[in-house]
Chain A
Amino acid sequence: MTTDDTTAPDPAAAAAAATSAILADLADTRHKAVVVDSPPGAGKSTLVVRAAQELTAGGERPIIVAQTNNQVDDLIENLAKKHPDIPVGRLSATDYSPPPDLGGLANTTVGRTLADLARCRIIVGTAAKWATVRDSTFGWAILDEAYQMRSDMLLQIVERFDRGLFVGDPGQLDPFTIVGTERWIGLPHDPTHNGVSVMLEHNPNIPVHRLPVSWRLPASAAPTVNEAFYPFTDFTAGTAHGTRALQFDTAAFGSTDLDETLTMAFTTGWALHELKRRHVPRTDTETVQTAADLAARLLERGAVATCERHRDGRTLTARDIAIGVAHRDQADLVRTALTRTGNPKAPGVAVDTANRLQGREFEVVIVVHPLSGRRDATAFHLETGRLCVLASRHRQACIVVAREGIADLLDSHPSMDPVHLSVPAKFPDGWEANQVMLAKLAQHRVAA
C-alpha cells in the first residue's frame, strides 16, 4: 500500500497531496490499475471528475462506469459544471429519460450506442449498460463505487478498457446475491465478491491509495467512524471543531425526552435515544414512531445549521433530514409514522434502508439501530457495512434510536461465522465495530 503523507496539519493540503500522488500513478504507464479507497464523504466524486479531466487533457478518451443511473446523472452534472468545454456522452438504455437538470447541459449528449457519442471525449454509463457494448476498447476506465460492483459484472466490462482507476468506499455494504454460493467460497475469483478485491487478489502490485480527509463527517464523528469501521487507515475530518453547529430556532415549550435527545445531538453531534428494554419485532411501533417523532420535533422547533458552506446559518428543511433503517418494511412504517405526526413537512424526510442510503448525504440522520430489540444478533444485523452506512451519512449530527440492551445482546452473541480456508478474515468484524459504536453512543445516552 502506498503511504500518502497525512501528517500535514491542514486537511486541504493533505487531500491535495493524496490527489497528486494518485494522478502521478495514473500517468505512470507501469500500472494496469490504480485503486483509491475513500472513507465516507472524502471527495470521491471530485476525484473522479478531476481524474477524468486530467486523462482527457493527456489525450485519452476515458470512460466512466458507475453503478446506478442516479450516480451517472450526478457525475455528468458535476463534469458539465466543472468542465463545460469537454463534450460528455451519456450511454443509456432505450427507456431512459434524462432528468430535467441534465437536458439543459449544452456539452452533454445522450446516446444509445457508442456511435451516437463519437464526438464525446468522456463517456459515462452504468456498468449494466457498458456490459452490452462490444468490440470497442478504451485506454482508461474510471470505475466509480467500485466496491459495490460484483466481480462477475467487472468480468463483463473489463475488455472495454486497458487500464482502470477503481474508486470506492471499502467500508460500505458488500454486493450480495440471494442464491447459495458455497461452491465458490475461498476461490480468488469468487463471482459474488466485489470487483476490487478480486482484481487486487490477482494483481498484488497495484498501487492502493486512500483519501485522507472526510469532508462530510463533522469533527465530532470522524474519529469514531474511523476507529469503528476503518481501524487500519486513518482519516480526519475536513472541518475543525466548531465550524459546524446546530441551533434551535425556538425554545422548547415544556420539556420532553425528544428535546433532550435533540439538544444532546445538537451540542455533541451524537445522541442515543434509548427506549425501555424489551424484545420486540423489527416493526415495533414505539421505536418506529419515536424515530418519526424526533424528525417531526426537529422540524417543528426549527434548527439553524452553520457550516463552512453557510457561515451565517441556514434553516434546516425536511430534505436535510434522513431516517435510516435496516429493513424495507421498517422504512414503510416510518413513512406512515411521519404522516401520523401531523407535521405537514414531515413526509418530506428521506426514509430508506442502508442499502439505498449508500452514497447519500444529509445534515441530520436519525438511525433505527439494526440490533434494537432483537433476541439474536444475526450476520445480517451485525454486518459492518450496514452500521457504517447508517452512521456516516451526516454532516452535522447523528441520532440513534434503540431499545436498551444491545450491549448484552452483543455479549451473548459473539460472532461465530464459519471460518473457511483461503478466505481472508474481514476486518473490522461487525461485532467489534458495533461495540466501538456502542461505547461512543453510551456517552451520549438519553433515556426515554
Chain B
Amino acid sequence: MEAVHQTEFRHRRLSGRPLVIIPLTMAGEAGAPLAAMVGTAKRDMTLLVVPQPRNRDQRFTFAADLGRIVMRYIDSYRQDRRGDGERSYYSDAPQILVPNHGGIKALADLGRMCRFRSTSGPYAVPDVVPEFGMWLTFLVDTAEMAGTSMLLPVTAMLSEHWATGQSTLEDQNLASLMAWIAPPDGLSVEQALADAENPDICPPAGPATSPEFDNRHLAPAIKRFDAAHTLGDPHELTTAQAELRDLVAEQVKPTWRMMWTAISLLRSVPEAPRAAKRFERDCVSFTSYSDYRDAGGFPQRKRDTAIGAAQRLSRLERALADFEADMAFDDPFVLADRRSAGEAFAGTVQESEPGRMVTTAKNRRVPRPYVTLRTDDPIRLAAGTKLISPSMPAGHKAVIASVHPDGDTTLVTVEVTGGMGRSRTPNSGTVPEPGQHLAYLPDPGWRPTPVFPASDHTPWTHSPGPDEPDTDSAVPEDAAAEEWGHDD
C-alpha cells in the first residue's frame, strides 16, 4: 500500500524561492483570519496571530503585517525586465504555495476584505492593506486558470503526480496525502494514515482548526486575552498574547514542516518540458498587473459584469483545453489515460502515401500525404479531427481522413497537413514511415478570441432596461453594514 506515480512529470513550475503561507481562520465567523505562518524557507518563518479575531482593528493590523511580508516578496520579482518597450516583461514571477484549496479560499476572503479599504478618513488602514488585497485578489483570480503557477495548493500538486488509494476529497488532506506518498521513517503507510487522522498528532492544515483545539485551548486563551485587554494590565496582556502565539504555533508547525517536505518531494520530480512556456505566460500576466498597479489601477470589482464574466469564462475554458493538451503532449502517462478514453490513439504505420499532392483553394499544389495506422485503442475521434503528435518533429499536424474498425483493431487514415517544410516534397522525417510507432491527440489549436460588445455597451439582453431598477443598486450598498468593532 503506497502512492504510485500517475504522471511522468511535474506539470507545475516550482519556483526556486516559493513563499509558503498557511492561513488559519476562526470558526463561526466568515472571513475572520486567526493566524498565518509565512516564509520562503523552512527555517525562516514568521507567525502572525490575531489575538481577538472578532476585533476588526486587530484584523487589519494582521493584514498589514502579512501584507508587508507578501509585498516585499512580490516586489522582489519586480526587478529584471526582459525585452524592451511595451512588450518587455519581468523575467521571473512570484509563487505562493498554500496547503490546500481551502487556503486559496481563505486568501480570497482576505483579499476581498482588504482591497476596498480606505487609507484615509475614518477607520483608515495602512497603505499596504489595499495594495495587498488587490494583489491577493489578482493571485486568486489567476489560480482559477488552469496551468498557472503563481498561487497553488500543494495537495493539488501532489495528487496530480501521485495516485493514492483515497478519494479526491481525502486527498485534500495534506497529512494523509503525505502519509501515502512518504510515510515518516519507521512507519508503514497504515500507521502514518492513522496518525494523519489524529488531530493531536497532525493538526489540520487549515484554514479551519480542529474543533477540539478550539474548545479546549483556543476559546479559553482568547477569553483570557479579552479579560486582560479589558483590565488594561500590560503584563497580563503580554502573557495572554504569548500564550495564544504558543498555542497557534503548536497547531501550524507540523503543517509547516510537512509543506517543506512536500516541496522537496515535488522538486525531485522532473518538470514537464512545456511548463516553461506556461511560466512565460505567468510572467507576462504578472507584469501586466504590476504595470496596472504602478499606474494606480482600481481594485478588482466585487462582481463580474456581464461582459467581463463572459470574457473570463472564455479565457478559463481556453486555458483548460490548452493545459490538458499540453499535459498529454508532454507526458506518456497522461496520454495513455486519454488513449484509454478514446480521446487519443497510438499505433503502427501500416502504409503511407508520401507523394500525395492536392490543389488548395488558392490553386497551389501542396503535399498532403496519407498515412494509415493500425491501433488497438478504443478510438472515438471522428473524421475531420485535427491532430498533433508528440512522436513527430515539432509543427507536425494532421487531420483524420477516415476511421475503419478492422476486427479488434482500428485502421485510422490521417492526412498530414503541416510540419513538412515549404518545398513541394516533404522534408525527410516529417512524414511517418511504415513500421513507425506514433501517437496522435486532438489539437486544441488556435481559436479566435471571442469578440464581445464594448464593456460600456452592455446590450439589452444582459442589462436591465432604462426603466427597470438595476439589480445591483436594488440592494443598498450598506445592506450588510455592521458595527466596526471598536471595543475600547
Contact = CB atoms under 8 A, between A and B. Distances in A.
Contact of B306 (A155, A183, A332): A155
A202 B468 contact: yes
Interface in B217-252: none
B451 A203 contact: no
Nearest to A184: B309
Contacts of B312: 191
B304 A187 contact: yes
B462 A187 contact: no
Place the interface of chain A in its size category. 35 or more
A391 interface: no
B468 A155 contact: no
B451 A202 contact: no
A204 B460 CA distance: 12
B284 interface: no
B306 A159 contact: no
Contacts of A152: 309-310, 313-314, 450, 452
A241 interface: no
Given A180-B144, A195-B461, A198-B462, A189 B451 contact: no
A131 B314 CA distance: 13
Interface in B290-319: 303-307, 309-310, 312-314, 316-317
Contacts of A131: 450-451
A315 interface: no
B320 interface: yes
B446 to A, nearest CB: 14
Interface in A166-199: 177-181, 183-184, 187-192, 195, 198-199
A134 interface: yes
Nearest to A178: B320
A179 B316 contact: yes
B220 to A, nearest CB: 34
Contact of A191 (B309, B320, B380): B309
A156 interface: yes
A256 interface: no
Interface in B67-104: none
B464 interface: yes
B453 A155 contact: yes
B120 interface: no
A181 B314 CA distance: 12
Contacts of B342: 328-329, 332
A250 interface: no
A155 B378 contact: no
Contacts of B313: 152, 177, 179, 181, 184, 191-192
A184 to B, nearest CB: 6
B468 A332 contact: no
Given A131-B450, A152-B314, A332-B378, A187 B303 contact: yes
Contacts of A392: none
B306 A189 contact: yes
B268 interface: no
A156 B450 contact: yes
Interface residues of B, number: 34
A154 interface: yes
B398 to A, nearest CB: 15
A203 B461 contact: yes
Contacts of B462: 151, 154-155, 158, 189, 198-199, 202
Contacts of B305: 189
A29 interface: no
Given A158-B453, A159-B459, A183 B314 contact: no
Given A155-B306, A187-B304, A134 B451 contact: yes
A132 interface: yes
A179 B144 CA distance: 9
Interface string A190-226: 1110010011001110000000000000000000000
Nearest to A156: B450
Nearest to A131: B450
B16 interface: no
A32 interface: yes
A88 to B, nearest CB: 24
Contacts of B309: 152, 184, 187, 189-191
B463 interface: yes
B380 A332 contact: yes
B450 A198 contact: no
Interface string A78-119: 000000000000000010000000000000000000000000
A155 B465 contact: no
Given A155-B452, A159-B453, A32 B307 contact: no
A155 B307 contact: yes
B205 to A, nearest CB: 21
Given A184-B304, A189-B306, A202 B144 contact: no
B448 interface: yes
B453 A151 contact: no
Interface in B110-159: 144, 146
A133 B468 CA distance: 30
Nearest to B465: A203
B471 interface: yes
B317 A177 contact: yes
A211 to B, nearest CB: 23
Interface of B: 144, 146, 303-307, 309-310, 312-314, 316-317, 320, 341-342, 361, 378, 380, 448, 450-453, 459-465, 468, 471
Given A159-B459, A202-B464, 14 more contacts: A33-B461, A151-B306, A152-B313, A155-B310, A158-B461, A158-B462, A164-B461, A178-B320, A179-B313, A180-B144, A183-B144, A189-B463, A192-B313, A203-B464
10 contacts: A33-B461, A151-B310, A155-B461, A156-B451, A177-B317, A180-B144, A189-B305, A189-B462, A203-B460, A332-B342
